Structure 1
Amino acid sequence: MNAVEASERLIQLIRENEDIANHADGCSAGEVAAAERDLGATLPPSYRLLIEEFGTWDIAGEEFLGIYQTPAMGQKLLGSVSETLDARNQYGMPSGLIVTMFDGMGGLVVLDASQEDQDGEYPVLVWNPGATDREDLERLGNDFGSFALSTCRQAVTRWRESS
């Protein structure tokens, strides 16, 4: 299964588990283009698909930042965009890294746009504030779609088994 197929399965998983999932209404092509301009990088296809579908989402306690706007913040792109720009400005996170979620231990789960594969996908890494060498970053997955699907499947299974 490739990364985009994994994202398609994740969309299905979220739709089948609406009782333990939350999501927004998705992002328009214009919002995605604005996010890419702000980030200075193209979103990989598997992440883009989920952003277009949900904008931002969580399921069974796993929260993904995504991209969204609120009336209070106006046109400002929140989620991955604002967290990425904040991490670059405040903590010196290298350009080309895109924040997708928090790891719960002080690190940021990021996509590394400097390591694009033949399908336009980026590896999923953990960046900790202060880290400067990308070679030292923990690798969580080869692409976002597969990483997110695996993470969410495990969370749903844990949730359902504990209920």
Structure 2
Amino acid sequence: MRRAYAPLIATLCLFAAPVLAEQFTDTQSGLQFDIPRGWTHKLDGNTLTALSPDETAMLLFFVTDISESDEVVDRVAESMDQVIQNAQVTRRLTIREVNDLKQIQAKGTGTCEEDLCNWDFTLVVGARRNLLVVALGDVDKHEAEIHGVYRSIQNDGSI
């Protein structure tokens, strides 16, 4: 009889996994989002950095005055010059609505500390202030976790 419940328990565990992520609230932007389970993070000034457990991918979160415009990729590239050199865009802008917020995304490659790396950015518009999320490193390996973060971004209810 107990074995009949095993598939149900396994299924419930799959749905419970996202709950185990740590929720972070950014008071400047009025947004909240989930940091994937097992990722370490620290706040340094106004920049939140999250690092994957295997240390091959990093997420940077910061409030920005970059707005939704045709020059968004250029503006992001300019602001990330110290982190990504020789940035090449491999996927031009895509725009989607998630949790009543506009997310403007692009993807590419470049050089990070003399190593080839992938990058992915999402500019979140529609909150108190815009939030820029930049993924660096082995973005393809951690794509599901990174996109889970993007899907979790929502207003914190304060506005």
Q: Give the TM-score taking structure 1 as reference length.
A: 0.26
From the two aligned structures, give the one with the greater helix fraction. 1
TM-score by length of 2: 0.26
Q: Which has a greater percent of strand?
A: 2
